[in-house]
Structure 1
Amino acid sequence: MTRGSTLPAHRLSDLPDRVAIPTLPEQPRTPPPASTALEGFNGAPEAEAHRTLLGCLRSPRWAHRLAAHRPYPTLDALLAASDEAAYDLTAGDLTEALAAESQPSLPEDAYGAAHTALGAAHAAYEARFGHTFIICLDGVPPDETLDYVLEAIRSRLTNDPEEERVVTAEELRRLARQRLSESL
């Protein structure tokens, strides 16, 4: 047994073979944790952080706000700030972000009629609301994607434009959150 560097071990008189100051087994040294993606994001130059954020949501106002408030202590703190900034987007900000969005894709093994039905639903949606239908598919099993998207488009086609603007803003917020989580 090794002894501490400053105090010798002492035997207790009433307990033979016991040490008054027990020595601890040597603990393996662990290397310092590697730099995390969040640390990289926090320390990145402003332009690089801005580009990363624009890859999650094409709103310069949202991206600027998040980049300007770095560093974030945790991913949860960044996601909370993302949500807050997304809630503050104006109608113009939403329009700008929507212009860069693409339609959700179908699974590769979807049959031809599904592509036709989805194409018609997307066309009806765009004619009614003037922008691409977007939806966050986080948590939707891949084999349920087609039915989920078709049901959502049909349901949302019944919204009035203001209701749909609110739903669309929420979907953009969820998409930004999902993309941030995946990128960091």
Structure 2
Amino acid sequence: MTRGPTLPAHRLPCLPRPLDAFNAAAGDEARALLLTCMRSRRWARRMADHRPYPDLDALLAAADEAAYDLPPADLSEALAGESFPELPYGTYFAAHTALSAAHAAYEARFGHAFVIYLGDVHPDEAIDRILEGIRSRLANDPEEERVTAADELRRLAKGRLTAFLSGARPPKPAASPRGAAGRDAPVRRA
């Protein structure tokens, strides 16, 4: 018995990869996404202007380089756009109180929010890591802490970029600077 003609194979639509979509996005759209990763307009503009990136590694290398080159005013802008890391759901009130007090002491000493990358930390260990980080970094002199905070900002930005461009949900926006209208959502784990 002979068979009739076969139907062509069903093909799923080819969806753009997140990096391809980022590379093809309009400049304003790319900068807006980048500002959710690090709240520095200079950094976002530089990253958007140097597109296209051939792969995630190239993008992350460029993110590092652009962040290392931030002048003090732009680093201050980025730090002002951050807020205290969000605590895991179910955190005890006593932990909130202890962390709030430690963060207030940190902010009084250094003039900006405490930033820390928690992407490689199990959620159950986040509170301990944050408290340990604040306590140890309170001993830093202001310049040493500025270098440490800048390094943590770079790690946060890379973690947020990686999460988004690996197909995860869009990064949570960094908080807007104090007093400014707009998003004031707490920073989430990258």
Pick the TM interval, shorter chain.
0.7 to 0.9
Partner deviation per Cα, 1:59-106 (whole Å, 9 max, x = no partner) = 011011110011001011101100110111111111101111110111
Higher relative contact order (CA 8 A, sep 6+): 2
Which residue number corresponds to residue 159 of structure 2? Answer: 178
Please report the TM-score for the alignment, with normalisation by the length of structure 2: 0.79
CA RMSD, Structure 1 to Structure 2 (Å): 1.5
Q: Name the residue aligned to 2:87.
A: 106
In structure 1, runs of 5+ residues without a counterpart are 1-27
| 1:97 is aligned to 2:97 | no
| CA offsets 1:145-165 (integer angstroms, 9 cap, x no match) | 011100000000000000000
2:143 is aligned, of 159, 162, 167, to: 162
Aligned to 1:128: 109
Q: Can you give the 5+ residue segments of structure 2 that lack an aligned partner in the other structure?
A: 1-8, 166-190
Q: CA deviation at 1:110?
A: 1.2
Q: Which runs of 4+ in 1 moved over 2 A?
A: 28-34
Shift of 1:34: 3.0
1:147 aligned onto 2:128: yes
- Report the structure number with the largest CA radius of gyration: 1
Q: 2:40: which partner in 1?
A: 59
The share of aligned pairs that are identical, in percent, is 63
Q: TM-score, normalised by structure 1?
A: 0.82
Instruction: Quote how far apart the aligned CAs of 1:31 are.
Output: 6.6
What secondary structure is seen at the aligned counterpart in 1 of 2:99?
helix
The Cα shift of 1:109 comes to 1.1
**Aligned residue in 1 for 2:4:** none
Provide the rounded CA distance (Å) in 1 between the counterparts of 2:143 and 2:10. Answer: 59
Matching residue's letter, 1:153 = I
| Aligned position for 1:138 | 119
Q: Which amino acid aligns with 2:150?
A: A
